[in-house]
């Protein structure tokens, strides 16, 4: 899954992010029509490979949107200035009144998140985000179903395929735990903190402390406890 090639991963993440702003409704519709054509003409092997490329483009769009949707307004503005308007870090720094050094940190962090998704990896940071978990399961479903259906026509690494299936099972278990937790009534301060974090996954410990009327230390401790309890599903 190329996890041991960080430069490649960041390059793929950057390309996926750039593609988001090069995409248009017309191009999206054309891809849908091409995928439909491939489905109807699915016997030649080269057509299936082309379908896989189209599928990967759609998956990358889902990945980028999933990551960007949970960013703060300032970070989304930064991404649009940089990747949609092709603005420089210096100009963006002056527009947002944020240092170039901080913008570089944001940029690397966001690319890392996209890279992780491209490599089908959820991290401890993602365990509170139902949308990330659900979208990751959907992406894995799409990939796994294709290879299950066409395993006699397309050569692929069986170990890689099995790894995807194991990941999907783990993420399904994680989603079940998160959904059960968010649906239950809070019986303690700790429960309330975790439920709030699931409801507002982008909130910082300081913001959650304000919502829950507790100290930042209390928030951090309870979030860490929950993260430790589900760590096995993301590592």
| pLDDT tens per residue, range 116-158 | 999 999 999 999 999 999 999 999 999 898 888 777 666 777 8
Distances (CA, A) of 28 to 5, 144, 146, 154, 180: 30, 23, 20, 26, 36
What is the per-residue pLDDT for 33? 65
Alpha helices in the chain (DSSP H): 6-22, 25-40, 45-69, 73-79, 89-96, 100-118, 130-149, 158-183, 189-199, 205-212, 216-230
Q: d(Cα 171, Cα 166) in Å, to the nearest integer?
A: 9
Residue spans of the chain under pLDDT 50? 1
What is the per-residue pLDDT for 184? 83
Q: d(Cα 41, Cα 33) in Å, to the nearest integer?
A: 12
What is the per-residue pLDDT for 40? 62
Domains parsed from the chain with CATH numbers: 1-119 (1.20.140)
C-beta separation of 201 from 70 below 8 A: yes
Residue 38 CB partners (closer than 8 Å, separation 6+): 47, 48, 50, 51, 54
């Amino acid at each position: 899954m190329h996890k041991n090639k960080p430069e490649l991963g960041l390059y793929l993440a950057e390309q996926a992010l750039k593609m988001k702003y090069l995409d248009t409704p017309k191009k999206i519709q054309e891809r849908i029509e091409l995928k439909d054509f491939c489905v109807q003409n699915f016997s030649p092997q080269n057509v299936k490979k082309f379908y896989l490329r189209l599928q990967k483009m759609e998956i990358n769009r889902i990945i980028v949107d999933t990551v960007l949707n949970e960013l703060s307004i300032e970070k989304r503005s930064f991404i649009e200035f940089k990747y949609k308007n092709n603005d420089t870090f210096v100009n963006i720094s002056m527009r947002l009144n944020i240092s170039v050094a901080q913008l570089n940190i944001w940029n690397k962090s966001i690319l890392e998140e996209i890279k992780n998704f491209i490599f089908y990896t959820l991290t401890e940071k993602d365990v509170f985000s139902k949308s990330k978990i659900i979208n990751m399961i959907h992406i894995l479903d799409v990939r796994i179903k294709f290879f299950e259906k066409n395993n006699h026509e397309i050569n692929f690494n069986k170990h890689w395929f099995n790894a995807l299936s194991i990941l999907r099972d783990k993420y399904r278990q994680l989603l079940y735990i998160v959904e059960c937790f968010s649906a239950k009534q809070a019986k303690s301060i700790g429960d309330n903190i975790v439920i709030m974090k699931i409801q507002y996954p982008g909130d910082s410990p300081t913001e959650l402390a304000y919502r829950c009327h507790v100290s930042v230390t209390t928030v951090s401790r309870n979030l860490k406890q929950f993260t430790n309890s589900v760590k096995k599903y993301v590592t």
